[in-house]
Amino acid sequence: MRLLLVEDNVPLADELVGTLGRQGYAVDWLADGRDAIHQGASEPYDLIVLDLGLPGIPGLEVLGQWRAGGLSTPVLILTARGSWAERIEGLKAGADDYLTKPFHPEELQLRIQALLRRARGLANQPKLEAAGLHLDEGRQCVSRGGEDIQLTAAEFRLLRYFMLHPEQILSKSHLAEHLYDGENERDSNVIEVHVNHLRRKLGRAVVETRRGQGYRFGGSGE
């Protein structure tokens, strides 16, 4: 899953980029509202974390321009403690959730997970479940029938994206856009390698190849 972090506090941004990276997210970071308006609307992000106190253009105005332009990407806003008026205005402007600084990294992780599931119509699932598999995002492993199956970091990222988009046909280029940040080369051939690794661990039927189209997740795995 590819996230955009818009935060001008450099130490906090560095910490969040590292934390979210370890949780399997590809993160692009911007510190200025003017840059965020264009990039947020032009890149295929799965979720945006937006600070309201930005230089250039305030976060509230950034959010308003995104929504006015038809951007439907989930947005989690970060606000200073006690700024209840900002939170209300942010929600009115189209934010999906907010988090008050300072916050615990695990709370941010859980809120991001909840927003991503809600965006895919999976809000009632405490864990990702599809095709007989149960994904533990905290431990970054998957289980079937109570048996844990270990995953590499790359396999976990790919499987999580598949499980958030079951039964959909996803091209290699689409997957690459959502699994890599803007700084890394998006090699679609690497996706094929990781798909084959998942098939060896989970069963070939779990990920179906649609020739000329891409992959479809949701087989039985038998």
Higher per-residue pLDDT: 183 or 18: 18
pLDDT above 90 coverage of the chain, percent: 75
Q: How far is CA 128 from the centre of its chain?
A: 14
pLDDT mean across residues, the chain: 91
The predicted model scores a pTM of: 0.91
pLDDT value of residue 121: 83
Q: How many residues can be counted in the chain? A: 222
Q: Peptide bond before 11: cis, by omega within 30 degrees of 0?
A: no
Q: Please write the tens of the pLDDT for every residue from 50-77.
A: 999 899 999 999 999 999 999 999 999 9
pLDDT value of residue 29: 97
Q: Quick check: 195 pLDDT over 60?
A: yes
Q: Quick check: 141 pLDDT over 80?
A: yes
Residue indicated by tokens 């590499």? 152
